[in-house]
Amino acid sequence: MNKLQQLIGATLCGSALLTGAVQAAEQRELRVYNWADYMLPSVPKEFQQKTGIQLTWDTYESNEALEAKLLAGNSGYDLVVPSNTFLDTQIKAGVYQKLDKAKLPNWQNLDPGLLKLMSANDPGNQYAVPYMYGTVLIGFNPAKVKAVLGENAPVDSWDLIFKEENISKLKQCGVAMLDSPGDILPIALHHLGLDPNSAQPDDYDKAAELMLKIRPYVAYFHSAKYMTDIANGDICVAIGYSGSFYQFANRAKEAGNGVVVDWRLPKEGAPLWYDSFAIPNSAKNVAEAHEFLNNLLDPKVVAPISDFLGYPNPNLAATPLVGAEIRDNPNLTPTAEAQKTLYVLQPLPQKIERVRTRTWSKIKTGN
């Protein structure tokens, strides 16, 4: 090799190294920590292809697992997905940074009515982009309930559960409830005309009195078993999550066992829960996080996610694009009028949380 060839080779090699270094410096990334099975798989893949942002997507099984990482300091993630009551506590603990809404032009697609409700946990909607939502309501087997209570069974009212004359008859076909004081006791308080987020210890005595009257007719308290049992026809009524009844109604159809599962949003109102994307204070890729969030707020992106998961989303512009089974079912996607009856649960002071826990133990044991 002559000197000219050596010089050209060295120049090309140096140029290649410089180009590689610039490309490495420009490589953008985003680290997301989300619930397991809580995203349409094609969405992160298409975002990565469209933007060139390298995505790391890890999953967890509980809010407690997420909170442990967040409160430890540097979570290592740029986006996380807390549920609303945990979001509330974590905002107060200072673990999130405010959204830069100038980087979220698609924010305008969100439903103002739902944003107002959700501001109970995120005042001013400053920290979180709402993702999916649902309610706690009544699921039932129409044929079995009709056989016990007749054609006019009040399936659209909490009276179905809280009136002893109804639940005492339903006992023969099986009634179940979530094993969740944070869901069930607010419903009992609201039914009594009290604040579902009450911080008054005496109110929990009143809720306990109501619950203990109907306790003999409740088969069990469990936050998962009710789903398979209602799909199999082993119980006829349950208090559970709206999306769960939707999913297990479809399971019953697929099984071809003749069981029909239906559900109703009680006319008196119900708790609204929701999950949101938020950016931890320790996030290193904030611009990329906003880019992902704005993409998620695109109606054409979020509508198929709702169809895949079976939950409505708060993107008003996406509603016409969501499948009719979800979009046109007011017991899954509440109407604007029904939204006025919903209430958002909030964390309680530790002293009252202990009262609620003791009350729940008393109810479950029936003493």
* Distance between first and last Cα of the chain: 94
Binning pLDDT at 50, 70 and 90, where does residue 110 land?
A: very high
Confidence bin at 73 (pLDDT 50/70/90): confident
Q: What is the pLDDT of residue 23?
A: 44
User: In the prediction, which pLDDT does 74 show?
Assistant: 85
**Where exactly are the structural domains of the chain?**
29-133+274-333, 135-271+346-365
Q: What are phi and psi of 200, to 5 degrees?
A: -100, 115
Confidence at residue 153, expressed as pLDDT on a 0 to 100 scale: 97
pLDDT confidence bin for 367, thresholds 50/70/90 = confident
**Contact in structure between 56 and 264 (CB atoms under 8 Å):** no
Report whether 30 contacts 4 (CB < 8 A). Answer: no
CA distance linking residue 163 with residue 55, whole number of Å: 52
Residues 347-351: contacts with CB under 8 Å, at least 24 apart: 347/85, 347/88, 347/89, 348/197, 348/199, 349/199
Same CATH fold assignment for domains 29-133+274-333 and 135-271+346-365 = yes
Q: Does residue 329 carry a pLDDT above 50?
A: yes
Say which CATH architecture domain 135-271+346-365 belongs to.
3-Layer(aba) Sandwich (3.40)
Task: Look over the chain and give the mean of its residue pLDDT values, rounded to a whole number.
Answer: 92
- Which of 2-16, 143-157, 183-197, 335-349 comes out lowest in average pLDDT? 2-16
Please tell me the total number of residues recorded for the chain in this structure. 367
What the block records as the tokens of 291 is 């880019």
- pLDDT tens digits, one per residue of 156-177: 999 999 999 999 999 999 999 9
CA distance 201 to 99: 37
Q: Is the pLDDT of residue 249 over 80?
A: yes
Residue-level pLDDT at 202: 98
User: CATH number of the domain at 29-133+274-333, please?
Assistant: 3.40.190.10
Look-up of token digits 């320790």: 282
Residue 150: alpha-carbon gap to chain centroid: 34
**Average pLDDT estimate for 258-263:** 96
Report the pLDDT averaged over residues 301-310.
Answer: 95
